Amino acid sequence: MPAAILVLFYLALTCAPLALSALQGLPPRPLRDELASGVALAGLAILLVEFALSGRFRVISGRIGMDVTMRLHQLLARASSVLILLHPFLYSGPQSLRPGLTPPGSAPLNFDWPGLWPGIVAWLLLGAVMVMALGRDALYRHEVWRALHGIMALVMAGLGVLHATRAGRYSGDPVLWGFWWVLFAIAVLSLAWVYAVKPLMKARRPWRVSSVTRLADRTWELCLDPEDHKGLRYRPGHFAWISIGKPAVSLDENPFSIASAPADGGRLRFVIKELGDFTNRLGQVTPGTRAWVDAPFGSLTLQRHDKAGGVALIAGGVGIAPMLSHLRQLDADKDPRPRVLFYANRAEDQIACREELDQRTQTGPLRVVHLLSDPPKGWTGETGFLTPDVLTRHLDAAALKTWVFVLCGPPPMLHAVENALLALGVSPRNILLEQFSYD
């Protein structure tokens, strides 16, 4: 489905309550009252569609990209919050509801307690969900926050719909009433899909840890073998949510780029850096431990770049994982296109899979450019950061024009390199990047 159709579908869904309300033909109330209803109708619609923008639905994130999906989820949540938080303050006040002051034929607002309390609770919950989301990195383990976020958002959305259908001037109409509850049912199903259906599907396809090997300083390779099933269908550049040594239904799962290539067979390989939580204990995981895989996700794939004249892979640190997948598959396919890997690290002992990369430079059309920001004495490779000067030393004008550029690494590096590539005239269409942290 083209991204433009997804955008139009999004706008149709979020504007539909306004259209359905206007079509009811009720005489308009004072501007402030209509505005109060309008922001609530749009805000609630945006809120309900947020469940589909959670990043776990490939029809969306696979099409527009995981970064775009998650960033839009965050930004649209803020827009929805502003609209909903404004909602109660926009009404012109109880005096406008008195029969004498309400325009003839205008239905009064329903201030009955059964209609009001769900709105008050949902409104307060919205503030709590926003505060928790903005402070998530400082306050909670990610898994705890993710579960709380989903559950609180669902309760808030349900109460919001209850409030709208009980107290709203327009949402009591059967068509709009049905619209709200169908959207809420989809929201419930989306959470049920992520937290119940997908885990049950995962449970039928277990994996086993076959090895955990130290590759470089605080960097490990984790290998998983499928247990009595054919494994995973994926493309180089995809990532997976994996959990190790936990039940299939568990919140303890983490996203990691797949470093193996589909051509390698059923075994999945991941390159993982110790960054806290589960990753710090990776060296203690023993072969034979059961693991679960939810994949594939992501859009760092080359499937729409078959005609690129070459491939430039730009990795920072553990961002090497998807690049290894690409290189392994390109070599397995005997793809003749030239390729360059820019591999940035702080220190030399952080370079992972160096021997394999050296070997690939001798057997295929690959060049590897190592960059170290803290080089040892005698280092002959590039130093510092990946600037336009470094790029142009290794890529000619034709490469900048016709190659595809795949970026994975820490967000500051990604943004700096993206800016450098754009400054050198690389088309935004030829730049693929993905990051796992936002804001």
Partner 1 sequence: MTSRGRIARAFWVLTLVIVLAVLAFALRGQF
Q: What are the b/e assignments for 43-79, b being 16+ CB within 10 Å?
A: bbbbbbbbbbbbbbbeebbbbbbbbbbbebbeebbee
Based on the shown chain and the rule CB under 8 A, indicate whether residue 68 belongs to the binding site for partner 1: yes
The CB-of-42 to partner 1 minimum distance in angstroms stands at: 5
Which residue from 104, 174, 378, 428 is in contact with partner 1, where contact means CB under 8 A?
428
CA distance 185 to 30: 33
For partner 1, which is the closer residue by CB, 394 or 415? Answer: 415
Which residue from 55, 63, 72, 367 is in contact with partner 1, where contact means CB under 8 A?
72
- Contacting partner 1 within 30-49 (CB under 8 A): 31, 34-35, 37-39, 41-42, 46
Which residue from 1, 5, 9, 11 is in contact with partner 1, where contact means CB under 8 A?
11
CA distance 25 to 169: 12
For partner 1, which is the closer residue by CB, 200 or 423? Answer: 423
CA distance 360 to 363: 5
Based on the shown chain and the rule CB under 8 A, indicate whether residue 6 belongs to the binding site for partner 1: no
For partner 1, which is the closer residue by CB, 262 or 298? Answer: 298
Site string for partner 1, 79-118 (x = CB under 8 A): x---x-----------------------------------
The CB-of-208 to partner 1 minimum distance in angstroms stands at: 37
For partner 1, which is the closer residue by CB, 83 or 242? Answer: 83
How deeply is 304 buried, as exposed, middle or buried, from its count of CB atoms within 10 A (0-12, 13-18, 19+)? exposed
Based on the shown chain and the rule CB under 8 A, indicate whether residue 22 belongs to the binding site for partner 1: yes
Cis status, amide bond into 365, omega within 30 of 0: no
Based on the shown chain and the rule CB under 8 A, indicate whether residue 173 belongs to the binding site for partner 1: no
Task: Give the pairing type, strands 219-226 and 268-273.
Answer: antiparallel
Sheet of 339-345: strands edge to edge?
382-383, 366-372, 339-345, 311-316, 404-408, 431-434
- Contacting partner 1 within 196-235 (CB under 8 A): none
Per-position DSSP letters for 334-350, written without gaps between them: T--S-EEEEEEESSGGG
The token duo for 244 is 């190790």
Q: In this structure, are residues 279 and 323 in contact, taking their beta carbons and an 8 Å threshold?
A: no
Binding region for partner 1 (CB under 8 A) out of 65-73, 115-123, 187-195, 301-309 = 65-73
Q: Which amino acid, one-letter code, is at 99? A: P
Q: In this structure, are residues 385 and 413 in contact, taking their beta carbons and an 8 Å threshold?
A: yes
Based on the shown chain and the rule CB under 8 A, indicate whether residue 433 belongs to the binding site for partner 1: yes
The CB-of-107 to partner 1 minimum distance in angstroms stands at: 14
For partner 1, which is the closer residue by CB, 72 or 155? Answer: 72
Task: Write out the residues near partner 1 by the rule CB under 8 A.
Answer: 7, 10-11, 14-15, 18-19, 21-22, 27-28, 31, 34-35, 37-39, 41-42, 46, 67-68, 71-72, 75-76, 79, 83, 415, 418-419, 422, 428, 431, 433
